[in-house]
Amino acid sequence: MKLLTAIAVAALSLPFGANAFAQTTSSGLTRAEVIAQLKQAQAEGLVPTSNSDYPPTAAEIARNREIYAIQHGTHGTAAIRTAGMPAAHPASE
């Protein structure tokens, strides 16, 4: 009787075990897309920030933009924007 129960349990669990390892959905972003987003966020002054005060303040964003401009030799980073997100300090016109 125990053998019959064990066989029945094993037979019924096989279809469920196969689905546990099947990966049917993609992760969403590729590694290259994530790297590009991180570089863009760094250029906009959104990173690096400390973990204790997230999201960064406007002063931190401005300081991070200055640091980025110094490190990368660019001077137009204050006007960088992303779609739907206004810049913290828009460039004067």
Residue-wise pLDDT tens digits, 14-30: 766 666 666 666 668 89
- Interatomic CA distance for residues 78 and 29, integer angstroms: 27
Q: What is the pLDDT along the chain (93 residues), one digit of tens a residue?
A: 788 888 877 777 776 666 666 666 666 889 999 999 988 988 888 877 666 767 788 888 888 889 888 888 876 544 444 444 555 554 444
- Count of domains in the chain? 1
Residue numbers of the domain that contains 48: 32-79
How many CB atoms within 10 Å of residue 69?
A: 16
Residue 59 lies in a domain: yes
**Contact status, residue 77 vs residue 65, Cβ threshold 8 Å:** yes
Residue 25 lies in a domain: no
51-65 per-residue burial string, b: 16 or more CB within 10 A, e: under 16: eeeeebeeebbeebb
